[in-house]
Amino acid sequence: MQFLPVEEQLAVIRRGVEKIVPEQELAEKLKWSRETGTPLRVKYGIDPTGIDLHLGHTVPMRKMRQFQELGHQAVIIIGNYTALVGDPSGRDETRARLTIEQVEANATDYLQQVGKVIDLKHAEVVRNGDWFSKMNFAQILELCSKVTVAQLLTRDDFSKRYREEAAIYLHECLYPIMQAWDSVEIKADIELGGTEQLYSFMLARDLQKDQGLKQQVSVMSPILVGTDGVRRMGKSLGNYIGISEAPYDMMKKFMQLSDDSMQMFFELLTDFPLDEAAVILQGHPKEAKVRLAKTIITEYHDAVAAEEAAERWQREIGSGGLPSEIPVVQLSKSELSDAGTMPAANLLKVTGLCDSTSDARRSIKQGGAKMGEEKLKIEAHDQAIPVESGLLLWVGKKRFCQVELVD
């Protein structure tokens, strides 16, 4: 097979990458690959601990697709045995353990979603249970003997928990060893992942060397921030954009992105040349977000769905129009005063638009509470609001409902 010159391949690989360890070895591997016509074996491991992938997960997957387009061999490891342990990376507490049945069910959904990013027809897909299930206790002891407790405590997550006297269970210590051994089993040349995986990646090099194999190179992507622009994207933090979400739901989340995070999203999640992305980002932030959203929604759905989502967002939110789907909240007439009214703060609380009356008072004070199709501003927390069926209530742009009175 004819590969691109090494420098051209490196230019593609380096985009959106935070660390390559060791970088010189990557160039040497690419040179060997080109001279011999041999594709490099590129590893990416996935633990099916859940069923929904978000854009943060796709960052290393997109890098894998780039390696495929350069002519290299993708090797996807479904961590059905590491998932039984749970990745402790970045965790300050032990993950809940899954059953084998849960892991297998998740793996099926994972692969369907992964196939939206990686060309699975030309990828090797293996499960690390294929080798770990065959190990006897003596072999597990032999593997564990290659790693010291002191080495494990160099991991940030373990050292933090140790200092805080939080529990570190023995099975968790096996996780980085298992992940590293996967590289031995598949003879990985390159491993993809996030910077938080550095310890496991370097351990893999040690184990490969111990087995007389060529050592892998680690290509690590930065951690994608969430829609809040601060913390890493994660479902538990509520700041994620799922790749299987409805197009309009994705659109609304893209439009909430902080301006400061836009460059990262363009670089890590699109194929726009960086100079072209820079021109887009110099324009109006709203237009840049729409461009970004339509590009990514098209990738996971289609262009028609992306255009419809953008038009709906502009109609319902961007221009301040009425949403096409307004949740209805039933309210008992007995909760109203004899005059058919209710204090504004109480009304926002009982309709669920605010978590508490103090939250409602704050929203009203900040000018974010409105009522009616005209979105008339609610002026005070004790303002007596006439309540009739069909009344529209708003808190900000994203929380709204229509009241239905019942006996």
**Average confidence (pLDDT) over 253-279:** 94
Q: Looking at the structure, tell me whether residues 310 and 394 fall in a common domain.
A: no
Does pLDDT of 91 surpass 50?
Answer: no
Distance CA 260, CA 238 (A): 19
Residue 230 or 88, more confident: 230
Distance CA 91, CA 93 (A): 5
Distance CA 372, CA 370 (A): 7
Cα dist. 31→7, 148, 151, 218 in Å?
10, 35, 33, 17
Does pLDDT of 319 surpass 80?
Answer: no
Q: Give the end of a domain, one of 298, 318, 338.
A: 318
Q: Looking at the structure, tell me whether residues 355 and 251 fall in a common domain.
A: no
Distance CA 223, CA 233 (A): 8
Give the count of domains, the chain: 3
Cα dist. 81→2, 110, 141 in Å?
37, 15, 17
Distance CA 224, CA 273 (A): 19
Residue (of 121, 176, 127, 120) closest to 148 by Cα position = 176
> What is the CATH classification number for the domain harbouring 388?
3.10.290.10
Q: Looking at the structure, tell me whether residues 84 and 187 fall in a common domain.
A: yes
Contact by Cβ (8 Å): 114, 53: yes
Q: Looking at the structure, tell me whether residues 81 and 145 fall in a common domain.
A: yes
**Average confidence (pLDDT) over 24-43:** 97
Q: Give the end of a domain, one of 318, 353, 374.
A: 318
Q: Looking at the structure, tell me whether residues 304 and 363 fall in a common domain.
A: no
> Which structural domain, as residue segments, surrounds residue 155?
6-221
Distance CA 104, CA 308 (A): 36
For residue 89, being part of any structural domain is answered with yes
| Residue 321: predicted pLDDT | 64
For residue 162, being part of any structural domain is answered with yes
Q: Looking at the structure, tell me whether residues 162 and 47 fall in a common domain.
A: yes
Contact by Cβ (8 Å): 387, 342: yes
Q: Which residues pair with 75 in a beta bridge?
A: 43, 124
Does pLDDT of 94 surpass 60?
Answer: no
Distance CA 56, CA 60 (A): 8
> What is the CATH classification number for the domain harbouring 275?
1.10.240.10
- Spatial neighbors of 117 by CB under 8 A, at least 6 apart, are 58, 61, 62, 64, 65, 243
DSSP code per residue over 332-369? EGGGS-TTSEEEHHHHHHHTTSSSSHHHHHHHHHTT-E
Side by side, the strands of the sheet bearing 392-395 are 328-332, 399-406, 392-395, 369-371, 376-377
pLDDT over 70, % of the chain: 95
Q: Looking at the structure, tell me whether residues 75 and 170 fall in a common domain.
A: yes
Side by side, the strands of the sheet bearing 123-127 are 19-21, 217-221, 190-194, 41-46, 73-78, 123-127
pLDDT over 90, % of the chain: 64
Contact by Cβ (8 Å): 310, 251: yes
User: What stretches of 76-169 show up as alpha helix (H) in DSSP?
Assistant: 82-85, 100-114, 129-132, 137-144, 149-152, 156-163
Q: Give the end of a domain, one of 260, 285, 318.
A: 318
Distance CA 198, CA 177 (A): 13
Q: Looking at the structure, tell me whether residues 139 and 246 fall in a common domain.
A: no
Confidence of residue 84 (pLDDT cuts 50, 70, 90): confident
| Residue 93: predicted pLDDT | 45
For 233, phi and psi rounded to 5 degrees? Answer: -65, 130
For residue 251, being part of any structural domain is answered with yes
